[in-house]
Chain A
Amino acid sequence: MSEQTLTSAAAARGPLAMEAISLSKDFQIGRGHTLHAVRDVSFNLYRGAVVALVGESGSGKSTAARLLAGQEPLTSGTIRLDGRQVRVSSRTDFRRYKSEVQLVFQDPFSSLNPIHTVRYHLERPVKLHQRSVNLGREVVSLMEQVRLTPAKQFLAKYPHELSGGQRQRVSFARALAARPSVLLADEPVSMLDVSIRLEMLNLLDDLRQRFRLAMLYITHDIASARYFADEILVMYAGEIVERGPAEEVTQVPAHPYTQLLVTSAPDPDNLGSALRGGSRRQGPATESGRPQNLDSSATRGCPFNPRCPFADDQCRREDPALVQISQTRGAACWHLDVAAPELVSGLRGGGDTKTK
């Protein structure tokens, strides 16, 4: 597969931290039914860089994060951390792994324990992962890192006494307490008010720089991925259907699904367009509301073919592999010449022509 020769757009930022190689995860549902939540997904995380995993609910993006966090056993594939294959078999191994790889959840309302104070939430990971530090000072310093100040005022508070943004700051501080090298952020801002989302994204960006975190940013909001990430991976029905530098993927999307995502995002500059004035929708989608089908019996062909305006018999028969568009970009589509002619003209046969 040409995927192996692609260079990640995030690679320039720093050294390789984590490699996900052909990860797959199946869930058995009911009798004899298999749900392929994640299929043959590969990507790399680099220190100081943000890779965004973008897709709709059910696309497998959270499952991918849980696989990387060691919370689910892999069906197949390999995870490497700093070049060494990860095998989490014992509790000690798991703890050591967790001190390198931390996960931040979407919902700050349910990811904090309502009966414990902020101090408890932060002291526990410090005690577990860093034995030799001054506990009190470390906790205060963590709170300052996430700008939960004055720290003294917040230490004795319970989650219900904090706003959504403050709770999410506690979640960030808790993840940093282990001094990780990799931070997996699963929709870290989508439960928050629009007005504070950016503040939190900017905070994450600041933490990324300061601690040179290798970050995986999972989101359904492709506009925030453009703002925040170096590389974007678009997931659909468990597969990566497009990948490339954030700016290129959002400005000239190649895969029909990415095109649908981009045209669906609210666009304030598009006043009086699709929604106001007319009832006609634009964009390539004909039945865009239909969710993806992850059942094994329906996995013939490209997973997007039932919703794709360009689908033909080949798409219904065979699942396309990732086609390399440029050094850093690829898309899994049989008909890139129709879907994104401006990207692939002159690419025929070669496969490594730069399009810029």
Chain B
Amino acid sequence: MSADPAAKSAIGLAGAAAPSSSPVLDIRGLSVVYRTPAGDVRAVDHVNLALGAGEVVGLAGESGSGKSTLAYGACRLLRAPALVTNGSVTYRGRRVSRPADILKMRPDELRRLRWREIAIVFQSAMNALNPVLKVRDQLLDAIYAHLKVPRAEAHSRAASLLDLVGIPRSRLSSYPHELSGGMRQRVMIAMALAAEPEIIIMDEPTTALDVVVQRDILAQIVELKDRLGFSILFITHDLSLLLELADRIAVMYAGQFVEIATSDEIHREAAHPYTKGLLNSFPSLRGPRRDLAGIPGSPPDLRNPPPGCPFVPRCVYARPECQDVDMQLLPVATSRDPDHVTACPFVLPDTPAPPVPPVPSAAPGNSAGELGT
């Protein structure tokens, strides 16, 4: 890539630091690679992201775009062959005396940070809960590990945590397999809340759930957030969900951000072709029924990223100059959101889509079209 990484992150900051007060979590220039015999996979490449107090920031992208790697890398939860090669992650909590760089923390500092300051809700509650321990013991485990509280208080805390997420206290003596998928996910959320963290990272917490249950849990999360005042980094591939839930959305592609803006702006004035593609990927229940295309093709191989914009092979707007794009996030001039940034210098929200190339018709000239008689 041609751009000087330092210059790039300096410019990217303008767009990343949207919240007016100093952010709770400030990720700058973070790079993560996976060391493989075939070369480094650049899973996250110089990204900047700020999470303000009480804010819900959505991280959207396909599988393999690096969104989970980014979040886990920022919390130092990755292990070899993943390697954080660059960047800083500044945490400014209300309960810590001064800002600290998570990437430079000693193990004991990290232990104090985790769960008490930053908690994570993992995608698969089925696998994240221990199948041979009762809900009570798992909650107590989390409480004892991170808080110094007497036994009686720990027990009452475990019970009140279940109250918080709307599960009857009698479920404390249940095993995970006795709970429905939605209840298990609620237990995971209760565990994350055990030490009243400032930040909760949610990694596709509702992807495996039914829409009705999903909606209930999201409403619960929002309600808890309003009550307890934590910030949320919400990772999902479902942009439609984020549009409703998040304050700001960062769209990730091939390890880099391609667009960051408020949800309203993303919904109304998405600038980057990839964001436009994602928005065009889910059928809507309301409005006119129209033909949708999704985003044909698949993400690039990050061992050997192509020069310029990584989205070129799948982009309907692609042109020769795209080879030289250095993926700097620049403000969208026409946008109402001053912090709306995009990595595509050519396409603006109102750029008309080029005529859709004809869908490659399958197997020209073969006779199998007469199947099935």
Contact = CB atoms under 8 A, between A and B. Distances in A.
- Determine if chain A interacts with chain B: yes
Contacts of B285: 222-223, 226, 250, 262, 265, 267
Contact of B245 (A165, A181, A197, A276): A276
B99 interface: no
Interface stretch (A19-27, A283-291, A325-333): A283-291
Given A181-B372, A276-B245, A285 B212 contact: yes
Contacts of A274: 215, 219, 244
Given A220-B210, A267-B286, A198 B371 contact: no
B368 A142 contact: yes
Contacts of A213: 372
A161 B81 CA distance: 20
A144 B182 CA distance: 41
B298 to A, nearest CB: 6
A237 to B, nearest CB: 13
Given A142-B368, A147-B360, A247-B289, A195 B244 contact: no
A255 to B, nearest CB: 14
Interface string A245-281: 0010010000000001111111111111111100101
Interface string B302-329: 0000000000000000000000000000
A270 B264 CA distance: 10
Interface in B221-280: 222-223, 226, 237-241, 243-247, 263-264, 267, 277-280
Nearest to A193: B62
Contacts of A202: 292-294, 359
A141 B222 contact: no
Contacts of A291: 180
A196 B294 contact: yes
A289 B278 contact: no
Contact of B362 (A145, A269, A279): A145
A235 interface: no
A271 B295 contact: no
Nearest to B266: A268
Contact of B244 (A144, A179, A198, A270): A270
A221 B213 contact: no
B253 to A, nearest CB: 10
Given A56-B212, A163-B298, A260-B212, A279 B283 contact: no
B363 interface: yes
A227 B283 contact: yes
- Counting contact residues on chain B (CB < 8 A from A), the size range is 35 or more
A194 B210 contact: no
B234 to A, nearest CB: 11
Interface in A6-41: none
A288 B216 contact: yes
B294 A288 contact: no
A10 to B, nearest CB: 16
Given A195-B294, A275-B245, A281 B372 contact: no
A272 B239 CA distance: 15
Contact of A144 (B213, B226, B263, B362): B362
Nearest to A213: B372
A145 B285 CA distance: 30
Interface string A208-243: 001111000000111110111000000000000000
B238 A194 contact: yes
B214 to A, nearest CB: 7
B105 interface: no
Contacts of B152: none
Interface in A140-185: 141-142, 144-147, 163-165, 176, 179-181
Nearest to B279: A268
Nearest to A253: B285
A279 B215 CA distance: 11
A194 B278 contact: yes
A268 B240 contact: yes
B190 to A, nearest CB: 15
A262 B285 CA distance: 8
Contacts of A269: 267, 284, 286-287
Among A179, A197, A266, max chain B CB count under 10 A is at A266
Given A141-B363, A223-B285, A264 B368 contact: no
B338 interface: no
Interface string B335-362: 0000000000000000000000001101
A164 B64 CA distance: 12
Contacts of B283: 198, 223-224, 226-228
A329 to B, nearest CB: 18
Contacts of A226: 283, 285, 289
Contact of A145 (B219, B280, B294, B368): B368
B289 A57 contact: no
Given A195-B294, A195-B295, A267-B284, 15 more contacts: A164-B63, A194-B282, A196-B298, A226-B285, A227-B283, A261-B212, A266-B240, A266-B241, A266-B243, A267-B286, A268-B267, A269-B284, A271-B264, A281-B216, A288-B212
23 contacts: A146-B362, A163-B298, A165-B298, A195-B294, A196-B294, A198-B280, A198-B281, A198-B282, A199-B296, A202-B294, A210-B369, A210-B371, A221-B211, A228-B283, A262-B285, A264-B214, A266-B238, A269-B267, A275-B222, A276-B56, A276-B247, A288-B215, A289-B212
